[in-house]
Amino acid sequence: MNGLIAQSSGAVFLTSAIICAGLFQAASGLWGKAIFSIIPAVSFCLFLISGLVLLMLAKERSDLQFLEVQRNLRQAETRFQQIVETAIEGILIFDEHYRVTFANDNMAVMLGYTVDDMLGRTYASFFPESHMDVYHYQESLRKRGEGSVYECCLLRKDGQPHWFLISAKPIFDEQGNFEGSFGMFTDINDRKEMVLLLEESNRRLTELSNQDSLTGVANRRCFDATLEHEYSRLRRSNSQLSIILLDIDHFKEYNDRYGHVRGDECLRQIGSVLACSINPSVDLAARYGGEEFACILPDTDIQAAVAIAEKIRQGIQDLRIEHEDSPVSQFVTASFGVTTVQYSTDISPADIVAMADKLLYKAKVSGRNTTEYGVIE
């Protein structure tokens, strides 16, 4: 069709040229003057027709280009649809208010929805409350024009959590205005559950390795490590650290009379008194060895430490565990040594324990079931 119009246009211009040439020859004849009088009109008409033909050609060419663009867009849309529907990842597209404008079938299936169910929902509605900080942070990144790859837990329709690895990019219009974002969601739920299970197992193993198996409080190893850490921290905090050492009065006689089974039960009950008498988020209660227990009290002065020791001492008496062979009381009692220290390069953690042990010995010599205390200068 383009060739036919081009030929017609060429023919019009050729005819115009021939007519003009003939008119010049005729100018020498009798009709010359008359012919020259109509030349302008004829030429105008011929060139007008040529212009119209060229406009028709240009329009047709423009129409063909438009159809070609439409065909390419349809092909691109078809390819995009095939890609998103065959992708093993979930795909979500959000508008500027983080509402879902597109979801592929895989994404809907992974979350237990239909595609229609998901359209129009806000991204935030899929987040558990405990992960909303992740949502707000990622939203701020997108609006600043930053993409990211992150792990996140989303809620399925049945309320169960499901883990994804998400690769997200922002979407901006030609003027640079934020229009929304695009995200690809890879299902990592099985792997994540195994990782979390392994982390919990490791945490539990660490806890067990630091726990006294009989009483449930910390063991000697945990006590030593914690004391080292807390004393080192004093260099920066310029605070005080207190230690309580306590020993059950005449515990050998208790075991001899009542047996080791009841002796173990006595230790368990005393361990519970210690655990209930301290702040477990800050302080540490530990079984130091045999019938000896200890407490580490960070950021605690001597008066507060003695008050805690007295609380423990009274708590042990209130257990009213019978001890007929004790010369101190008819019930199980304990003696205490309490010391407080500030950081000094001349003092080591071992020195702190030694001071508390001296005070504990002094309490025993003083008649037991009492508390002796002092500050390390």
The tokens describing 10, both together, are 């060429």
Distance separating alpha carbons of residues 348 and 339, to the nearest angstrom: 14
Q: Is domain 210-375 classified as CATH 3.30.70.270?
A: yes
The whole-number pLDDT of residue 24 equals: 47
Dihedral angle of Cα 6, 10, 15, 16, to the nearest 10 degrees: 110
- pLDDT of 8 strictly over 80: no
- pLDDT of 73 strictly over 80: no
Burial of residue 257 (CB within 10 Å: 0-12, 13-18, 19+) is: middle
- pLDDT of 30 strictly over 50: no
CATH topology of domain 90-192: Beta-Lactamase (3.30.450)
The whole-number pLDDT of residue 204 equals: 78
Distance separating alpha carbons of residues 311 and 278, to the nearest angstrom: 10
Could you tell me which residue, 10 or 278, shows the higher pLDDT? 278
- pLDDT of 304 strictly over 70: yes
pLDDT band for 45, please (50, 70, 90 cuts).
low
- pLDDT of 31 strictly over 80: no
The whole-number pLDDT of residue 266 equals: 96
pLDDT band for 60, please (50, 70, 90 cuts).
low
Residue 115: closest CA among 107, 127, 123, 124? 107
CA 316 to each of CA 266, 320, 322, 356, 366: distance values in angstroms, whole numbers, following the listed order: 10, 7, 11, 20, 19
CB atoms within 10 A of CB 152: 20
The position carrying tokens 């005080």 is 240
Q: From the centroid of its chain, how far is CA 361? A: 52
The tokens describing 49, both together, are 């027709």
Q: What is the mean pLDDT of residues 74-89?
A: 57
The whole-number pLDDT of residue 71 equals: 63
Q: Which of 23-32, 259-268, 276-285, 368-377 has the lowest mean pLDDT?
A: 23-32
- pLDDT of 86 strictly over 70: no
The whole-number pLDDT of residue 238 equals: 85
Phi and psi at 11, nearest 5°, equal -65, -40
The whole-number pLDDT of residue 51 equals: 60
Distance separating alpha carbons of residues 74 and 83, to the nearest angstrom: 14
C-alpha gyration radius of the chain: 45
Phi and psi at 185, nearest 5°, equal -115, 115
Distance separating alpha carbons of residues 111 and 118, to the nearest angstrom: 9
Q: CB–CB of 322/346 below 8 Å?
A: no
Could you tell me which residue, 358 or 61, shows the higher pLDDT? 358
The whole-number pLDDT of residue 47 equals: 57
CB atoms within 10 A of CB 73: 10
Q: What is the mean pLDDT of residues 173-195?
A: 91
Amino acid at 9: S
Could you tell me which residue, 252 or 54, shows the higher pLDDT? 252
Q: How many Cα atoms occupy the beta-carbon half-sphere of 180 within 13 Å?
A: 14
* Angle of the 260-277 helix axis to the 302-319 helix axis, nearest 10: 140
Q: In the predicted model, what is the mean pLDDT of the chain? A: 85
- pLDDT of 38 strictly over 90: no
pLDDT tens digits along 205-246: 777 788 998 999 999 999 999 999 999 999 888 899 999 999
Sequence spans of domains, the chain = 2-83, 90-192, 210-375
Could you tell me which residue, 176 or 34, shows the higher pLDDT? 176
The whole-number pLDDT of residue 27 equals: 47
Of the chain, the end-to-end C-alpha distance in Å amounts to 107
